[in-house]
Amino acid sequence: MNKKIYISLLLFIAIIAGYFYFKTKMTFAFLNPIYLDKTMIVVSVILVTYIVTKIIDIFLRKFLLKTFNNANFTKRVFPVFHKILNILIWIIWILVWLWFLGYNPIAIVTWAWVWWVLIAIAGKETISNFVGSIILVFNKNFKIGDRIRIIMKKTYEWTVEEITLSYTKLIDSSGNVIYIPNKNILLETIENLSQSKFNKIEINLSLPLVNEKTKIDNFIEKLEKNLKKNKLISSFNINFSIEITWFLIWFEIFADSKDNKLKNEIILEIKNELEKQKLISSQN
């Protein structure tokens, strides 16, 4: 069982014991016993609710895994169900607590519903993001851990880190984090690179700048011919830029291969071609 549950149970037992000790052994002229009882109810409700939510989390995860027998689906669905159930449990326990304190929960629910409608009208963004999170969870466009390409004015590639009730957390290859509202991400064109048959291979090179541009042109031309001959490679892009003292070149290659063998072969081929064109020395 979760360590936090054990700690909460021990704390709950300690509070119960302390409550009965103070109530029977000690008296305070300024302290009304009713307030002590109400304080005990409040603290107990908070602790019990916390323990119940943690236990439900454990059983919910096991239930989803057993029912759907799909770890990816569970990973995608659990965070949303977890938050919804936690909210419902806390609402129920708060109403129970208010009933113990002598308040009318029905009247409170009525007023809460009125306020909810007003908040819903004012907070269309929140509702749109909530609905968006449900859609993202149950459609199979992408899941947590997938690498996706979002096509907007520019093309961005991110890894899906988390899907919450309001936003989707994405991380790029440099570790930068972006939070996109769920309603916005549903409107964009998304390519799931993790579901693609072909795997992306990225190679970046920095070469000393040479004066003979023809060597660079010959190098790229011959490399393109060699890459086209490789049956594992479906497509590729070769880009380059010339800096003050360096020639920068980078490759995007999509190939039907999941290991590093092809990448190493391509790097070796690039190195050999660079040596032939005398862009680098054979000792490098």
- Which tops the pLDDT comparison, 26 or 181? 181
pLDDT tens track for 224-237 = 787 777 766 666 66
Residue 235, domain CATH = 3.30.300.100
Number of domains within the chain: 3
Residue 135 resides in a domain: no
Domain boundaries, position 253? 199-276
Residue after which a domain boundary falls, among 178, 195, 212: 195
Residue 130 resides in a domain: no
| pTM > 0.75 | no
When mean pLDDT is compared over 40-54, 117-131, 236-250, the highest value belongs to 40-54
Residue 171, domain CATH = 2.30.30.60
pLDDT tens track for 88-132 = 777 777 777 777 667 776 776 677 666 666 565 555 566 666 666
Please answer whether residues 192 and 136 qualify as being in contact, where contact means their C-beta atoms are separated by less than 8 angstroms: no
